[in-house]
């Protein structure tokens, strides 16, 4: 295996939300196969900065696959071709030498582009604000062991809670639906005794907010699950449907 590789990059450039964007083509050379994808972009940015061009803007922060900030649509797939990782965990050895890599931002009405590859995902925050919490104030809570929780339920809740809110589910879905994201939070709290009191209200409110944000609806293609960097399961969507219908009929 060669140690360094060359690529042609086709990158979406858009100076700000108002302007019309376009693809620009760049060449990068001598990229170490051990480099991460974002390090490759760092190198590109160093080079184009030196040449006097505004660097390519992209969201990134922790660079270890947990903060959910990075969000690139690479060669037709969110977070690139590998399974269950984010862009920051993607390495250049995955991409053959002398190939073209297309990089686009997440595309959804609810995720407008801010600049280049950066989108506004505050819709997700508003969905959580509509009900993705347990209404307990600091203090005045029972002992942590006061309510035993079956391990199986705790584990399922953790599976759902692993969501990093990156938006790959929306990006992957042909309808730009946010069902996997919303259902992960609804499921986590529906599975735990602490979430019971507000269970119905939560399901109704979060779905309502999701619709208001302009996400599409779910057609059960499963693309979200396949692209989720944290492997969040489709059964969460089914659970949210149950929660929502039950809440609608009984609350």
Among positions 37-66, residues that touch other proteins (CB under 8 A) are: 38-39, 42-43, 46, 49-50, 52-55, 57, 59-66
From 44, 180, 186, 223, residue interacting with other proteins (rule: CB under 8 A): 223
Q: Which two tokens stand for residue 92?
A: 């250049």
- Does the protein bind other proteins through residue 99 (CB under 8 A)? no
- Nearest to residue 79, comparing CAs of 111, 69, 29? 69
From 13, 24, 201, 241, residue interacting with other proteins (rule: CB under 8 A): 241
d(CA 158, CA 181): 14
From 44, 82, 181, 197, residue interacting with other proteins (rule: CB under 8 A): 82
From 192, 199, 200, 232, residue interacting with other proteins (rule: CB under 8 A): 192
Helix residue ranges, H only, 101-219: 122-129, 151-161, 168-172, 179-191, 199-212
Residues with Cβ within 8 Å of 138's Cβ and at least 6 positions away in sequence, in order, are none
Q: How far is the CB of 8 from other proteins (least distance, A)?
A: 13
- Does the protein bind other proteins through residue 120 (CB under 8 A)? yes
- Does the protein bind other proteins through residue 214 (CB under 8 A)? yes
Q: How far is the CB of 165 from other proteins (least distance, A)?
A: 6
- Does the protein bind other proteins through residue 13 (CB under 8 A)? no
* Sheet of 4-13, strands arranged across: 22-32, 4-13, 99-104, 73-74, 77-78
- Does the protein bind other proteins through residue 197 (CB under 8 A)? no
């Amino acid at each position: 295996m060669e140690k360094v590789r060359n690529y042609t990059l086709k990158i979406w450039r858009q100076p700000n939300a108002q302007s019309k964007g376009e693809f620009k083509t760049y060449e990068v050379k001598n990229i170490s196969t051990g480099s991460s994808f974002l390090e490759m972009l760092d190198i590109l940015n160093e080079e184009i900065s030196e040449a006097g061009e505004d660097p390519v803007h992209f969201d990134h922060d922790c660079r270890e696959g947990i903060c959910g900030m990075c969000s690139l649509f690479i060669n037709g797939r969110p977070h690139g071709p590998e399974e269950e990782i984010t862009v920051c965990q993607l390495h250049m050895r995955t991409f053959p030498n002398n190939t073209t890599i297309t990089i686009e931002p997440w595309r959804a009405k609810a995720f407008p582009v801010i600049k280049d590859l950066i989108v506004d995902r505050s819709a997700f925050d508003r969905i959580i604000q509509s009900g993705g919490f347990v209404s307990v104030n600091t203090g005045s809570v029972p002992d942590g062991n006061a309510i035993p929780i079956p391990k199986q339920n705790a584990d399922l809740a953790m599976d759902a809670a692993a969501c990093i809110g990156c938006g790959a589910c929306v990006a992957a879905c042909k309808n730009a639906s946010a069902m996997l994201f919303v259902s992960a939070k609804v499921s986590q709290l529906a599975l735990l005794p602490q979430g019971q009191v507000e269970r119905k209200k939560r399901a109704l409110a979060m779905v309502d907010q999701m619709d208001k944000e302009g996400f599409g609806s779910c057609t059960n293609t499963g693309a979200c699950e396949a692209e989720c960097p944290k492997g969040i399961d489709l059964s969460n969507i089914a659970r949210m449907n149950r929660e929502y219908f039950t809440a609608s009929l009984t609350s």
